[in-house]
Structure 1
Amino acid sequence: MSDNENTVYILDSYGLIYRAYFALVSHPLTNSRGENISAVSIFFRNLKALLSKYKPGYLAAAFDSRTPTFRHEMYPEYKATRQKTPDDLHAQVPWIEEILCGLKVPVLRVDGFEADDIIATVAKVCREQNRPCRILSGDKDLLQLVNENCKEMQPDKFNGGWVEDGIEEVIAKWGIGPEKILDYLSLVGDAADNVPGVKGVGDKTALKLLGEYGDLDGIYEHAAEIKGALGEKVRADKDNAYFSKKLIALREDVPLEINFDSFRTDDLDYLSAARKLEALEAFSVAKSFFAEAGVTSPSKDAAEKKKSPVKAVQEAEEMPLEVKKNEGDYKPVLKPGDLKSFVDGVLSSSEKTVAFDTETDSLNSLEAHLIGFSLCREKGRAVYVPVVLPDAMFAPETVPLSACISELSRILDCEDATLVMHNGKFDLEVLWANGYASVPKCRIFDTMVAAWLLSPDGTGKSPYSLEYLGETKLGLRGIEFKDIVPKGHTFADVPLEAACPYGAEDADFTWQLWNLFKKQIAENGFEDLFYNMEMKVLPILAQMEKQGIHLDKKSLSDYSTVLAGQIKTMEQKIYTEAGHEFNIASPKQLQVVLFEERNLVPGKKTKTGYSTDNAVLEELIERTT
């Protein structure tokens, strides 16, 4: 039996439902009855992805109590500051529960207890039986359950899917192990749940205290030794700290009969779930469940008729694509005649459209050297034109930069042509820095701007990057920059055999995104906004960045003189107050003046003595004024 077949997966259902709802809160998915189905669609999309990828042997869904919990009895203000759950989110919870039951996934709920307590109880049984456990949640409170056999799986905001957090990952992200998460939360509190914590203690301070004293008990055993305002705060809020710990601690003794045989996934009823999803008109998700059941959706045609174009596009955007490694027919262009022939083909075609991407030796577009560029006018096929190659003595001959700019100018200066770019402002500025001297007359289509316009609430580190959109919109995983450019080097150091597929692939992805986004822009009625506003403004913004902003050096110099005079006056006041001159910028000399000569009470201590950072100085001001 594989690990996954023996592993218990448990869903923090409400947490995942909330996350799903708010992911599309600004442009929700709705059915023909006007009902919001965002949470339903994304929740079951993610669940289907989990089932397909991880193939869990055991699965259950934990839900919160319908009645007040023991925490409300302990503390009536518990979660009192939370805003009321939106009605259209609240309405989706019983639908999700009904679909889970139809799928034959056990729904675990016990009055008086939260889902977190149910999860903790299941995790405890798993630990006792030495059975692997995976908690599907984004809740930091549940990190206290992480141990050798239990991990938390969080939705991956950057790439979709799930990210596993074990002991090492918790330490890397939080700076403490799972065994200290409860004490950490007891110190910082939780504004969302109205848990008080210790007033004035934030993340960094809590981590510092735990690092120095070990745990909450250790902190309060040495509370008298903690100096300054921090010590006063810690000592004053001891009751709140321990009360918060009692509130946040998860119960492992929920009166719940746990029969793992009922968690088995051997007999999931995908057909029942698919029919319920279809009844709610979550057609794309339903289709994946019908496929798992080996059935074609009986009302596929009706479904397509019911969906408006906008909703169809939105729903399709939210469905995960199976990502595969990209493969393309990419070739280098090394002769001026071949480049001219390619440009001739673009300008003689009916659409006169080409995707274009630059490769440079710097991210500073106004100073970067053009190392090469790529052109694409057909899905899966593109060319890369190197301008600079490493080992020039032995490298093949390339098209001269002047000839490259001349041929590209034929497209840029053609009013009937369309140049498709991803982050076009960067590419235009690179061209200007390398010899192109005009303002483009061609039409411009920027796929990065289009992606933002179609989904302005993109989240994560790089939601509009070409790599991310390639995976999420095209289902293609491309070559990563770090895989071909060694650390400390630039693209100018990349040999042709690696530069060609990397560069040409970028143009290919850009071309494919153009084909996708131009239709969605039309279907969403964004054509006037995109073509007549965004794309007209783009070259103007690029010109503004190229031109720069004039600075009046004389005025700045005059103001610098004024500031220098004010600083000198303040220094003299400090020297007079201290009774002698010293180096104010020296922490060591400042320590002597403040804590030895003037006998002020020092704050935190560092390896070189007492700290004189801004926080300490501000604290001294509060105590002495």
Structure 2
Amino acid sequence: MGSQKKLLLVDGNSVAFRAFFAMHQALDHFTNQAGLHTNAIYAFKNMLDIILKKIEPTHVLVAFDAGKTTFRTEQFADYKGGRSKTPPELTEQFPYIRELLTAYGIQSYELANFEADDIIGTLAKQAEADGFTVDIVTGDRDLTQLTTSQTTVNITVKGVNEIEAYTPEHVQEKLGLEPSQIIDLKGLMGDTSDNYPGVTKVGEKTALKLITEFGNIEGVYEHVDEMKKSKLKEHLIEDRDLAFTSKTLATIKRDAPITIGLDDVVYNGPDMAALVAFYQEMNFKSFLNQLDVAPVEPTATEDYQFTVLTLDNIADVVTTTENVAFGIEMLTDNYHTADLIGFYIGRPDHWYVSDDVTLLTESVLKTWLEDAKRPKAVFDVKRNQVAVNRLGIHLAGVQFDLLLASYLLNTTNNSNDLGTVANLHQYQNVQTDEAVYGKGAKRAVPVDPTVLYQHLIQKAAAIYKLAPQLTEQLKKHQQFDLFTDMELPLALVLADMEITGIRVDASRLQQMGGEFSQTLKILEEKIYAEAGETFNINSPKQLGVILFEKMGLPVIKKTKTGYSTAVDVLEQLKKDAPIVQTILDYRQIAKIQSTYVEGLLKSIHQDNKVHTRYLQTLTQTGRLSSVDPNLQNIPVRLAEGRKIRQAFVPSQPGWQMFASDYSQIELRVLAHISGDANMQEAFKEDRDIHANTAMKIFGLSSADEVTPDMRRQAKATNFGIVYGISDYGLSQNIGITRAEAKRFIEAYFEQYPGVHQFMQDIVKKAREEGYVETLFHRRRYLPDIHAKNFNLRSFAERTAMNTPIQGSAADIIKMAMILMQAELKKAGLQAKMLLQVHDELIFEAPESEIPMLEKLVPSVMDSAVSLAVPLKVESGFGPTWYDIKK
């Protein structure tokens, strides 16, 4: 049996729809760095794995519909006419599902004027004649007509991960029919999903009875005159033509003119490099971990001559006044704690290297590093700044940063490995750290000095050689000012903030941990009482047994190992049993306990502070991210999550925490960029913008008539527009029908016609120039803006609309941070800027300086950029981050 030829045929559209709606609760959680929704791609991939493992095919094809117009719509104009429009959040994922298939080594195919069913039916027939066994996977039961002794039709039930296998015996058992009679059944009863009527008042029960008795539609009509007088007889005679038309529409073509054959669909397994690249683009970290394959490595082909630095030759290093490459080496990402294992310095005629970083503290080198007039080129200035600060050195004079330059030129180039970045710019002569040192925990100290020195000099040479090339490209793209005036200075500000750190009261955290443990114990007992037994709440398997077997709750989704108990599943079940809400509460508290209590306690340094790292080159909009620990996503909407902020306190007695944040900055940026008169007027008059929008959407004459729920829906519409939301997305977000959401969006554009015009204009500009940019000329390239494929193109259009808004808001706060740091120094204040949490800046200061900060911070933030509407800044202070009242 091992040599048996097995063909797997997948109905691409049907399975993609099932995948999307199986995970549509998680729609907003599944997006990649570019903002593409990925829930259907994710679920489709999981289904693919399950089916490939189960069937072990030798040949595979995924068939797609070519469009709405087919030979069936010519026969019956309303065929599939009742179907609602595909949500754009799914439509945009189709091209990427095809990309996934290509990476898997699987052919996909469509044929103009025919449906995926016809491709499947035709190829299945050819395969049967050639001695194959055939498996079809679809969510559409119409395909069960294709079942034979050689062909099994697998119908996806409950999402995409559970299938029901239809053989001729199973069809007989379920319907009492032969597979070939299914089209007769459909002819008589019609099909609401495909929108053809069949015979009036004939349902499945009646149709089954007639087909069982007479064999097929032809048999029914041969004997119709003999039937006793009845309404059924009248309907059969009246609707004879419809019955035969419906049968024809239900019949899958088995001789479609396909141009693909069995030899074209041989399955040899995935292309690992393509799969790695695809998972990286989709941000599928768990799938990347499953692969455990090394990325394609650049290879270093040139050995460099260098001098090992010693006290004897140290004076020779710093004689030049040209741009010199410099860098400190460490084996792990967290430069606040990583061992410093060496450094490089110099230019092609004088490369110096050492594994003794204490040499940097010698006065001749320290003076050179701290001299702003001595130009330096580095990779990741912030990493180097923090590292030398640990040696008591303040780095100055950095004029080029390869990491930042590469990121600005293309925001998708966001690796923080020098070898990978150099490779992106066609420079092959430096290896990645992983190739030289191995993976994460396997990296060993000490590293062989010969290996270390050669790698360090390869890095130095890459920086030195790429600096002029990338500088030229930045100038050509009008981005050199953004590089020199924003990103480079900001990196130094961030370094100062990271070095300063923020004090954490460990005893308060421990106390909270105790309180959360008590809460968890109470919730645990409540769950056991509701379940009627004790079990491991943290075991999805045991929890699944309790919920779906013992308590009989409806099974929404299954996983490889049993029932899914994911959050989106539990959210759907909480109305069915009180235990579900208790489990959700338990999970939330447990997550806060592990991530923010235990996680923060582990992150506290010896100075009683945490020193987060800001990732400056991760997002495509320019927003900063925070890691080790992440202080930007403490869940403040939950009371227990908010409490975590009580542990963040000033570093000195008699000091206070102080914070200022921009109010509705993205909407204010939208008002400025779009030039919309109504929106600008609302902000200039300091009206409540969400109530303003609610009045229009709900047709109210006064803001007093706006209820809290109306304001909430208007707020979701306001911010949804900024993110290029569709009527489907908005309906899901605020729990209204798609038609209502469409009406909301139309009313919004009536109220703010300038916004509508801006969105049309920015898409036109993106088509003409291939990119969009922020107020500060941060670019985002949109190669798919001209794609012939509608889905790729519409996603690029949505990105064109929202990037200038989100990106400009990110730029404004970056500018404010640079100006703020300078003002604090200029005013000689002791106050320190500690954190940036998206639109908010957090400081600590002596109590005596608070009145000055209340004036200074808003005035600097207000004036960071001049807009057509005022920037509104709200400030507050208190003894802890939690207690800041605005």
In structure 2, give the amino acid aligned to 1:27: A
SS at match of 2:25: coil
Residue in structure 1 matched with residue 234 of structure 2 by the alignment: 232
Residue in structure 1 matched with residue 103 of structure 2 by the alignment: 102
Residue in structure 1 matched with residue 532 of structure 2 by the alignment: 427
- Alpha-carbon distance in structure 2 between the residues aligned to 1:159 and 1:262: 26
Structure with more relative contact order (C-alpha pairs < 8 Å, separation 6 or more)? 1
- Alpha-carbon distance in structure 1 between the residues aligned to 2:521 and 2:259: 71
Q: 1:521 to 1:218 in 2, by over 3 A?
A: farther
- Alpha-carbon distance in structure 2 between the residues aligned to 1:282 and 1:33: 13
Task: Report how far residue 161 of structure 1 moved.
Answer: 4.1
- Alpha-carbon distance in structure 1 between the residues aligned to 2:537 and 2:640: 12
Residue in structure 1 matched with residue 555 of structure 2 by the alignment: 463
- Alpha-carbon distance in structure 2 between the residues aligned to 1:124 and 1:53: 22
Residue in structure 2 matched with residue 24 of structure 1 by the alignment: 23
In structure 1, give the amino acid aligned to 2:40: A
- Alpha-carbon distance in structure 2 between the residues aligned to 1:175 and 1:418: 50
Residue in structure 2 matched with residue 268 of structure 1 by the alignment: 270
Matches for 1:390-539 after TM superposition, within 5 Å: 419-420=524-525, 424-425=529-530, 427=532, 462-463=554-555, 471-472=562-563, 519=590
Residue in structure 2 matched with residue 75 of structure 1 by the alignment: 76
Report % sequence identity. Answer: 28
Residue in structure 1 matched with residue 246 of structure 2 by the alignment: 244
Task: Report how far residue 101 of structure 1 moved.
Answer: 2.2
- Alpha-carbon distance in structure 1 between the residues aligned to 2:223 and 2:241: 15
| 1:168 matches 2:169 | yes
SS at match of 1:60: strand
In structure 1, give the amino acid aligned to 2:198: G
Number of matched pairs: 367
- Alpha-carbon distance in structure 2 between the residues aligned to 1:158 and 1:19: 6
In structure 2, give the amino acid aligned to 1:145: L
Q: 1:464 to 1:517 in 2, by over 3 A?
A: farther
Matches for 1:363-378 after TM superposition, within 5 Å: none
Residue in structure 1 matched with residue 112 of structure 2 by the alignment: 111
Q: CA RMSD in A?
A: 4.5
Q: 1:267 to 1:470 in 2, by over 3 A?
A: closer
| 1:38 matches 2:143 | no
Residue in structure 1 matched with residue 223 of structure 2 by the alignment: 222
In structure 1, give the amino acid aligned to 2:259: E
- Alpha-carbon distance in structure 2 between the residues aligned to 1:21 and 1:220: 42
- Alpha-carbon distance in structure 2 between the residues aligned to 1:415 and 1:278: 37
8 Å CA contact 1:188, 1:198 repeated in 2:
yes
Q: 1:529 to 1:260 in 2, by over 3 A?
A: farther
Q: 1:241 to 1:513 in 2, by over 3 A?
A: same
Task: Report how far residue 38 of structure 1 moved.
Answer: 0.8
| 1:285 matches 2:284 | no
Task: Report how far residue 296 of structure 1 moved.
Answer: 7.0
8 Å CA contact 1:132, 1:149 repeated in 2:
yes
Q: 1:170 to 1:420 in 2, by over 3 A?
A: farther
Q: 1:423 to 1:266 in 2, by over 3 A?
A: same
| Structure 1 gap segments, 5+ residues each | 307-349, 355-413, 432-443, 476-510, 531-625
8 Å CA contact 1:420, 1:447 repeated in 2:
no
- 1:451-508 Cα offsets, whole Å, 9 max, x none, are 89xx99xxx974289x989724599xxxxxxxxxxxxxxxxxxxxxxxxxxxxxxxxx
Task: Report how far residue 415 of structure 1 moved.
Answer: 12
Q: 1:525 to 1:172 in 2, by over 3 A?
A: farther
- Alpha-carbon distance in structure 2 between the residues aligned to 1:38 and 1:301: 30
Residue in structure 2 matched with residue 331 of structure 1 by the alignment: none
Residue in structure 1 matched with residue 153 of structure 2 by the alignment: 152
Residue in structure 2 matched with residue 178 of structure 1 by the alignment: 179
Q: Look at both structures and tell me which one has the larger radius of gyration over its CA atoms.
A: 2
| 1:194 matches 2:198 | no
- 1:421-444 Cα offsets, whole Å, 9 max, x none, are 66743629xx9xxxxxxxxxxxx9
- Alpha-carbon distance in structure 1 between the residues aligned to 2:528 and 2:183: 44
SS at match of 2:152: strand
Task: Report how far residue 212 of structure 1 moved.
Answer: 1.7
TM-score by length of 1: 0.51
- 1:19-40 Cα offsets, whole Å, 9 max, x none, are 1111122331222333211111
- 1:533-591 Cα offsets, whole Å, 9 max, x none, are xxxxxxxxxxxxxxxxxxxxxxxxxxxxxxxxxxxxxxxxxxxxxxxxxxxxxxxxxxx
In structure 2, give the amino acid aligned to 1:268: P
| 1:2 matches 2:93 | no
- Alpha-carbon distance in structure 1 between the residues aligned to 2:520 and 2:288: 46
Task: Report how far residue 515 of structure 1 moved.
Answer: 8.4
- 1:497-531 Cα offsets, whole Å, 9 max, x none, are xxxxxxxxxxxxxx99998675458888896799x
- 1:57-98 Cα offsets, whole Å, 9 max, x none, are 111111111462111122221111111111111111111112
- 1:586-615 Cα offsets, whole Å, 9 max, x none, are xxxxxxxxxxxxxxxxxxxxxxxxxxxxxx
TM-score by length of 2: 0.37
Residue in structure 2 matched with residue 57 of structure 1 by the alignment: 58
SS at match of 1:97: helix
In structure 1, give the amino acid aligned to 2:532: D
- 1:157-188 Cα offsets, whole Å, 9 max, x none, are 39934332211222222332212111111111
In structure 2, give the amino acid aligned to 1:148: S
In structure 2, give the amino acid aligned to 1:471: G
- Alpha-carbon distance in structure 2 between the residues aligned to 1:474 and 1:258: 42
In structure 1, give the amino acid aligned to 2:145: Q
Q: 1:269 to 1:158 in 2, by over 3 A?
A: closer
Task: Report how far residue 123 of structure 1 moved.
Answer: 0.9
